[in-house]
Amino acid sequence: MSALTGLTIAEARAGLRARQFSARELAAEHIAAVAAARPLNAFLAETPERALAMADAADQRLQRGAARALEGMPLAIKDLFCTEGVLTTAGSRILDGFKPPYESTVTAKLWAAGAVMLGKANMDEFAMGSSNVTCAHGAVENPWRRRGDNRPLVPGGSSGGSAAAVAARAALAATGTDTGGSIRQPASFCGIVGMKPTYGRCSRWGIVAFASSLDQAGPMTRSVRDAAIMLGAMAGHDPKDSTSAPVAVPDFEAALSGDIRGLKIGIPREYRLDGMPAEIEALWQRGIDWVKAAGAEPVEISLPMTKYALPAYYIIAPAEASSNLARYDGVRFGLRVPGGSLDEMYENTRAAGFGPEVRRRVLIGTYVLSAGYYDAYYLKAQQVRTLIARDFEAAFQRCDALLTPTAPSAAFAIGEKQDDPIAMYLNDVFTVPVNLAGLPGISVPAGLSADGLPLGLQVIGRAFDEATVLRVAEIIETAAGFTAKPAFLAGGG
Amino acid sequence: MAQPIRGSSGDWEMVIGLEVHAQVVSQAKLFSGAATDFGAEPNTQVSPIDAAFPGMLPVINRHCVEQAVKTGLGINAEINLVSVFDRKNYFYADLPAGYQISQYTRPIVGKGKITLDLADGSTREVGITRLHLEQDAGKSLHDQHPTLTYVDLNRAGVALMEIVSEPDLRSAEEAGAYLRKLRSILRYLGTCDGNMEEGSLRCDCNVSVRRPGAPLGTRCEIKNVNSIRYVMQAIEHEARRQVELLEEGGVVEQETRLFDAGKGVTRAMRSKEHAHDYRYFPDPDLLPLRLDANWVEALRRSLPELPDAKKARFIEHYRLSPDDAGVLVAEQASADYFEAVARGRDAKLAANWVMVELYGALNRLGLGIERSPVSAAGLGELVDLVIDGTLSGRLAKEVFAAMIETGKGAAVLVEERGLKQVTDSGAIESAIDAVLAAQGEKVAEYRAGKEKLFGFFVGQVMKATQGKANPALLNELLRKRLAG
Amino acid sequence: MALDKATVARIATLARIKLPPSEQEHLAGELSAILTWIEQLGEVDTAGVEPMSSVVAMELPTRADDVTDGGCREKILANAPDSAGGFFTVPKVVE
């Protein structure tokens, strides 16, 4: 890891403005780091020339004193975001060769803020997974290893490539998307910060859709302040997205006052699972102590519908996905496997193009929407979803933010938990309710497991109150003093 | 009352329901900003949204919403202030997303009604079940290549109103009357141009037969019939096919059929029909559509006078027969044309001129009234010349023909060609004298009792006056002269 | 809910994903397990509860009737696996 690749956005911002180094130097070091990080398989596409060109443009603006919010910052972009003219595959064979003729709104905003693209980050296929082993182009390795154990670990998913890149210092920060925990859980597994904003805070236009009512883009960074800075650039109403909320973007960085005195922090009793590892329980308790020490008041609250969130999610998300993925048919883009008839062509293409997890979820989704089952499954799940949202609403009458663990375990080995889909789904038990209710949530690295792996704590807030979420998260970040680094660090120097 | 089908074993009744897909008149598509013009080069009016590229999202065109509400108001229907867009999921080459954005459980318009004008002058009210907004699909061309189908997505995403009738129709004639009235209303409202050849109005016919009084039989759907004439033919054929099948002891299979216009028959679609499970669910990229009641009311007040109301007014105010009124109000442009001609003039005369002479000429020229070479003012001027006696009716027709050909006004042509009707008794008498003098023998025969010769003398005098003699005056003076 | 092979085959057809018979059995087992696990939702009393229709509290945005898109055939066809004369091409469909 070089000096420059170890910076945060905030530090790089200061350094660039003070001309301690140029954007080109910053980009060049990261380009080298990306190459060095190849063993992790975190990137599906590297764009070094583009990065240097963007860095040069950033240097010009810096020289003129016209620097924008993310001027010169080298980012990894999850391959779910359509980047104009640059291969975008959503981690799937079925999008082989696809070069979008348009740029997603979120990435367009990042480039308009001066950021620099290092490449497209690996991910679980179509964002379906919690381990980044389902990508058509191979699994991503977590740069962290268990103490005294050489087995490669999963980085979490689906934004596993993004998390690994940021943790390994191959990118200053990355974009992710979160549908059931896909930013927060890999952030927890990789010891970085990952935020899912309120549903509607960031535009979904140009992001390959998985589950339309749940997907949200968000920042993955090495500090809470960085997440605030990056979210400020990513967020904003988009008239091209009918679910984009017409709300103003506050100055998230300015909200980091460091003061949470008087806030009530809800501790949901139903998140205390049977058989939860003691060290996670202990970490959670430490988190509660930290916020108390900072002048906030922990309040026990109840979210009775918690255990039904995962099954509801595994009806709603696959149902929406089965419809969203119908467009991948070999006709207009991506893979086409020939067939004697149109239907044969569809069937061959989709069988070859979709991996087993995607296929599973498309079939589940097709089934739960099919004639005779809609009421029992989809309708029921949407009703349960209303109840879950009501749980949170009631909780937020009594507190300003919630504190929970992010994941029920630390990162596990690649190959573990792979045979049982349900065991894999349970990774998202703490994160999924937040997506169903559309609320903002962040994961902050808060401690290490017994074998030296990162563990995250999650802060959940009211709709559009990312400011409070970030403020509480920063307190935890400060109190935790997490400075551990992964075994694998990219880059020279 | 619709005629029953006389089968070999007794009477059968046909039961028909029509699903009309009406393309909404708008500049841009329902959920994207691509254009909707007919006949563009393939795939030149396609947004990445229409082509269902990854990450694309729909945003609804508010003008299309307004057009649908106006149509609902025009068919006397309930407007649903809250409606929902659902995805209808199926796979086909011209459906890029693998789903169509439509409305299933909560359409924008509910129950309505249309009055049919039947050939015998009677009217009948027919129910409409609902109207909803949905995306049109693209076009597949199967005949461009031996082994490939060509797909053009220009039409994909254009706004359609699907208008579903109750199964209240009982004959092909009624179906034709329903389509004519619906088309007329849509054109009056400007919400659909009703052009069936271009496909802006398409009709699926649901046909079943039953013994009178019995429960409904199994129906077949005849898809995408693109003219009113073909609809009527298809229904006739299909009803008969089902009757024959049932009388032979067979069973009507519920199936989708196509009308082969060339052969005049319906046939089952050749492709194996996958059991259509559309898996409808609310589109998560859109929110429920909520309409403001005041806005709907304002729209209601802004509607133009529609055909039925106009027809009633024409009957009452212009004292036209229901038949004539019906013909004139079929197109708003014709009705407006007629009223401009009828203003301050004899309405019956005006109606006659419009329906017989003008329509006749327009038909011959293959023009719609919007492209009439003679304006309403121009025709009015001609009618005035008939009313004030300048022109006989017969000459006026000649002048009219000349107006069409030359584009000149009636008065100008009358001057140019010296066509003023002769009403000068002296001149007519001179002509009569000349004719009678030349026809001594015939005059004698007439006076001896051969009354039929009167017409001959009339013709001769007309010829002598180049047709300009006022007929009534001619008759009067001729009779006097012949009487001695 | 236990899914049998025939149902799995039917669903795969609806979803246009070719499923070799050799995989149907295993998939039926997997999907059945997931569906059984999902069915715990049946424990929840949802009488009178509205299904969630939108996560954000906002009105459906609308746009003006302006032509702002299209006219970009090259872009639309650029990624097509097969095209001819401005059309997408697919194996012929017989109606």
Is residue A240 part of the annotated active site? The answer reads: no
- B167 plus B42 within the same structural domain: yes
- B58 plus B136 within the same structural domain: yes
Residue of chain B with shortest Cα separation from A378: B281
Q: Is C82 exposed, middle or buried (0-12, 13-18, 19+ CB in 10 A)?
A: middle
Model-level pTM?
0.92
- Which of A99, A322, A386 faces C52 most closely, judged by CB atoms? A386
pLDDT bin (cut points 50, 70, 90) of residue B390 is confident
Put simply, the answer to whether B144 touches C87 (Cβ < 8 Å) is yes
Q: B140 to chain C: which residues are within 8 Å by CB?
A: 93
- B442 plus B312 within the same structural domain: no
Pick the last residue of a domain from B376, B400, B417: B417
Average pLDDT over residues C31-58: 91
String of DSSP letters for A279-301: HHHHHHHHHHHHHHHTT-EEEEE
Closest CA to C44 of A386, A373, A392, A437: A386
For the cut 80, the answer to whether the pLDDT of residue A183 exceeds it is yes
Cα C47 from Cα C36, distance rounded (Å)? 22
Is residue A182 part of the annotated active site? The answer reads: yes
Closest CA to B311 of B351, B371, B367: B351
Q: B288 to chain A: which residues are within 8 Å by CB?
A: none
How far lies C68's CA from each of A427, B45, B47, in Å? 44, 10, 9
Q: A331 to chain B: which residues are within 8 Å by CB?
A: 93, 96, 151
Q: B43 to chain C: which residues are within 8 Å by CB?
A: 73, 76-77, 86-88
- B310 plus B389 within the same structural domain: yes
How far C52 CA lies from chain A's nearest CA (Å)? 5
Put simply, the answer to whether C91 touches A243 (Cβ < 8 Å) is no
ipTM for the complex shown: 0.96
- B141 plus B289 within the same structural domain: yes
- B462 plus B341 within the same structural domain: no
pLDDT digits (tens, 9 = 90+) for B170-212: 999 999 999 999 999 999 999 999 999 899 999 999 999 999 9
For each of the domains in chain A, give its residue range(s) and CATH number, in order of start: 1-493 (3.90.1300.10)
For the cut 70, the answer to whether the pLDDT of residue B106 exceeds it is yes
String of DSSP letters for C23-67: HHHHHHHHHHHHHHHHGGGGGS--TTPPPP--SS--PPPEE-S--
Average pLDDT over residues C2-16: 93
In this structure, what token pair is assigned to residue B435? Answer: 């004719």
pLDDT digits (tens, 9 = 90+) for B392-442: 888 889 899 999 988 889 888 888 877 777 777 788 888 889 988 898 888
| Mean pLDDT over the full length of chain C | 93
For the cut 70, the answer to whether the pLDDT of residue B388 exceeds it is yes
Bridge partners for A45 per DSSP: A120
- B50 plus B166 within the same structural domain: yes
Question: Which value, in Å, is the radius of gyration of the alpha carbons in chain B?
Answer: 30
In this structure, what token pair is assigned to residue C86? Answer: 């401005």
pLDDT digits (tens, 9 = 90+) for A307-337: 999 999 999 999 999 999 999 999 999 999 9
Cis peptide before A158 (omega within 30 of 0): yes
Tell whether B289 is within 8 A of chain C (Cβ). Answer: yes
**Residues above pLDDT 90, as percent of chain A:** 93
For the cut 80, the answer to whether the pLDDT of residue B270 exceeds it is no
How far lies B280's CA from each of A430, A437, B6, B100, B276, in Å? 31, 23, 41, 10, 11
Is residue A78 part of the annotated active site? The answer reads: yes
- Which of A82, A333, A346 faces B91 most closely, judged by CB atoms? A346
pLDDT score recorded for residue A417: 72
Tell whether A100 is within 8 A of chain B (Cβ). Answer: yes
**Residues above pLDDT 70, as percent of chain B:** 98
Put simply, the answer to whether C54 touches B64 (Cβ < 8 Å) is no
* CA-based end-to-end distance of chain B: 60
Cα A154 from Cα A148, distance rounded (Å)? 17
Q: Is the torsion defined by CA of A324, A327, A333, A335 positive or negative?
A: positive
The DSSP 8-state label assigned to residue A95 in this structure reads G
3-state secondary structure of B230: helix
**Is A98:A108 a contact under the CB 8 Å cutoff?**
no
Tell whether B44 is within 8 A of chain C (Cβ). Answer: yes
Residue A420: partners with Cβ closer than 8 Å, 6 or more residues away: none
Put simply, the answer to whether C35 touches A98 (Cβ < 8 Å) is no
Put simply, the answer to whether B286 touches A242 (Cβ < 8 Å) is yes
3-state secondary structure of C77: helix
pLDDT score recorded for residue A423: 78
How far B256 CA lies from chain A's nearest CA (Å)? 19
3-state secondary structure of B309: helix
Residue of chain A with shortest Cα separation from C41: A308
pLDDT bin (cut points 50, 70, 90) of residue A493 is very low
Pick the last residue of a domain from B298, B333, B365: B298
Residue of chain C with shortest Cα separation from A388: C52
3-state secondary structure of B311: helix
| Residue for token pair 């009636």 | B410
- B413 plus B434 within the same structural domain: no
- B259 plus B130 within the same structural domain: yes
Average pLDDT over residues A397-406: 98
In this structure, what token pair is assigned to residue A286? Answer: 């430490």
Pick the last residue of a domain from B257, B283, B298: B298
- B310 plus B278 within the same structural domain: no
Cα B257 from Cα C95, distance rounded (Å)? 10
* Total domain count, chain B: 3
Tell whether B51 is within 8 A of chain C (Cβ). Answer: yes
pLDDT score recorded for residue A492: 46
Average pLDDT over residues B105-116: 97
| Residue for token pair 């005949």 | B143
**Is A346:A330 a contact under the CB 8 Å cutoff?**
yes
| Residue for token pair 């609250």 | A301
The catalytically annotated residue of A22, A92, A104, A158 is A158
Put simply, the answer to whether C90 touches A345 (Cβ < 8 Å) is yes
Tell whether B87 is within 8 A of chain A (Cβ). Answer: yes
Most confident stretch, B97-101, B479-483, C50-54: B97-101
Cα B424 from Cα B434, distance rounded (Å)? 16
pLDDT score recorded for residue A424: 79
Residue A466: partners with Cβ closer than 8 Å, 6 or more residues away: A195, A197, A198, A201, A231, A250, A252, A255, A440
Put simply, the answer to whether B271 touches C93 (Cβ < 8 Å) is yes
Cα B360 from Cα B355, distance rounded (Å)? 7
The catalytically annotated residue of A182, A188, A203, A443 is A182
Bridge partners for C87 per DSSP: C84
Cα A341 from Cα A344, distance rounded (Å)? 5
Residue of chain C with shortest Cα separation from A94: C81
- Which of C62, C77, C92 faces B149 most closely, judged by CB atoms? C92
Residue of chain A with shortest Cα separation from C36: A311
Residue A359: partners with Cβ closer than 8 Å, 6 or more residues away: A351, C17
pLDDT score recorded for residue A131: 84
- B147 plus B288 within the same structural domain: yes
pLDDT score recorded for residue A4: 93
pLDDT digits (tens, 9 = 90+) for A342-371: 999 999 999 999 999 999 999 999 999 998
Q: In what order do the strands lie in the sheet with C87-91?
A: B139-141, B148-152, C87-91, C83-84
What phi and psi values does residue B103 have, to the nearest 5 degrees?
Answer: -130, 130
Most confident stretch, A64-73, B271-280, B465-474: A64-73
| Structural domain that includes position B354 | 305-417
Put simply, the answer to whether C81 touches A330 (Cβ < 8 Å) is yes
- Within 10 angstroms of residue B164's Cβ, the number of other Cβ atoms is 18
Average pLDDT over residues A256-272: 97
Residue B226: partners with Cβ closer than 8 Å, 6 or more residues away: B196, B197, B199, B201, B202, B203
| Mean pLDDT over the full length of chain A | 96
Put simply, the answer to whether C62 touches B59 (Cβ < 8 Å) is yes
Tell whether A320 is within 8 A of chain B (Cβ). Answer: yes
**Is A192:A224 a contact under the CB 8 Å cutoff?**
no
Q: B271 to chain C: which residues are within 8 Å by CB?
A: 93-95
- B253 plus B120 within the same structural domain: yes
Q: C84 to chain A: which residues are within 8 Å by CB?
A: none
- Which of B42, B49, B288 faces C86 most closely, judged by CB atoms? B42
CATH of residue B452: 1.10.10.410
Closest CA to B283 of A99, A326, A131: A326
- Which of B96, B280, B285 faces A212 most closely, judged by CB atoms? B285
Q: In what order do the strands lie in the sheet with B281-282?
A: B99-102, B86-89, B281-282
Tell whether A319 is within 8 A of chain B (Cβ). Answer: yes
How far lies B478's CA from each of A172, B423, B429, in Å? 112, 14, 8
